[in-house]
Chain A
């Protein structure tokens, strides 16, 4: 049973517009959430994270929102740039336990 779900396998967004990637989770014990970005033929790179005690974390063009009651988080990228085209993985953990990854969403930024 998947504990971290990314229901959109792919997303296309016009350059300059906002990209919104969504993630749902089932384990209410998760207390830390992360987003990773992956280019083809490379390993994932850490992008941004959020603790369960917060509902928003911002880093430059990237903002992660957490809605604990809905067990939902989202990653907003604004403005979207061509270099943002990649696969984005949502991930979660409980304390110091292992990280659980979603299946990823492939983001295409259109010119």
Chain B
């Protein structure tokens, strides 16, 4: 079954650690996105990719980086986590922009 996966679902980590949030999709979509969302707030686009070797920063400034070496894989990395990075991170993919399929999210807590 075609789907989009995110791991880990929950992560509690100390300040200064390097972390990578994984996102994979089996739908063959070219477009993939990372959003950051805090409770009661809108989803903010932090990174997107329109295909292999294509990555762009989104509207919300983020200290994270992404890579797109394979169509199905779009990992997000924080080199040095800080408490201000505590949030929910949502990955999405789409064939046409207007209908994005979301993964279950990673809830990150940085102590």
**Residues of A near any B CB (own CB < 8 A):** 2, 4, 9, 32, 34, 36, 41-46, 49, 89, 93, 96-104
Contact = CB atoms under 8 A, between A and B. Distances in A.
A43 B98 contact: no
Contacts of A36: 102
B48 interface: yes
Contact of B42 (A42, A49, A89, A93): A89
9 contacts: A32-B98, A41-B105, A42-B104, A44-B90, A46-B99, A46-B100, A93-B97, A103-B40, A104-B40
B42 A102 contact: yes
A96 B58 CA distance: 15
A97 B9 CA distance: 29
A93 B99 CA distance: 11
A45 B3 CA distance: 12
Interface of A: prevailing SS = loop
Nearest to A36: B102
A100 B58 CA distance: 11
Given A9-B40, A98-B59, A103-B42, A43 B105 contact: yes
A34 B99 contact: yes
A72 B103 CA distance: 29
Contacts of B101: 46
Nearest to A90: B42
Contacts of A34: 98-99
Given A93-B97, A96-B97, A97-B97, A45 B102 contact: yes
B59 A104 contact: no
